Amino acid sequence: MSATRTKARILTAAVAPLLAATAGLAVVAPSAEAAPTGADACTHPAWSNKSGAKGTAKGADAKVRTGPNEGCGVVATVGTSVTLYYHCWVNNSADHKWTHVRIEGSNLEGWVYNARLDDGGLKDSRTHC
């Protein structure tokens, strides 16, 4: 047997288990789309708890997001029966007010668009993040 064939068999024997182990994995190529801008861009501003206020969602499907923009991931979807503890608020790049909240009975927190809160969320200058 030639040296080339022997090397090929050794390489095949070494690589085959790796290929079998990764057979169930899917590789997704990065998207060529441009990053969202404006109201869709996900930002993560600093926040602190400046309020003792609480409220509920307006409607059955208010999204609690990772940042104060529609392009940010959803932490949870809440309805009118869930109490939200308000921390502070910001204006995003589209000049929309968002309130940072914690969902009662959990450690889940994030941002809710003020128009999706039953009382309009925080807006007082003393509670700005």
Model pLDDT, residue 41: 73
Model pLDDT, residue 3: 52
Among 91, 93, 86, residue whose Cα is nearest residue 122: 86
Among 66, 123, 58, residue whose Cα is nearest residue 84: 58
Q: Is 12 helix (H, G, I), strand (E, B) or coil?
A: helix
- Map out the domains of the chain with their CATH numbers: 48-127 (2.30.30.40)
Token reading at 26: 């899917």
Model pLDDT, residue 112: 97
Model pLDDT, residue 43: 87
Any idea what the Cα angle at residue 75 is, between residues 56 and 95, rounded to 5°? 70
For residue 70, the 8-state DSSP code is: T
Question: Looking at the whole model, is its pTM more than 0.85?
Answer: no
Model pLDDT, residue 40: 63
Model pLDDT, residue 28: 27
Concatenate the DSSP letters of all residues of 33-47 into one string.
Answer: SPPP-GGGS------
Model pLDDT, residue 83: 97
Residue 112: beta bridge partners?
Answer: 99
Q: Is 69 helix (H, G, I), strand (E, B) or coil?
A: coil
- pLDDT values of the chain reduced to their tens digit, one per residue, 129 residues: 555 444 444 434 443 443 333 222 222 233 334 445 555 679 899 999 999 999 999 999 999 999 999 999 999 999 999 999 999 999 998 999 999 999 999 999 999 999 999 999 999 999 999
Concatenate the DSSP letters of all residues of 78-92 into one string.
Answer: E-TTS-EEEEEEEE-
Model pLDDT, residue 20: 36
Among 105, 73, 99, 71, residue whose Cα is nearest residue 86: 99
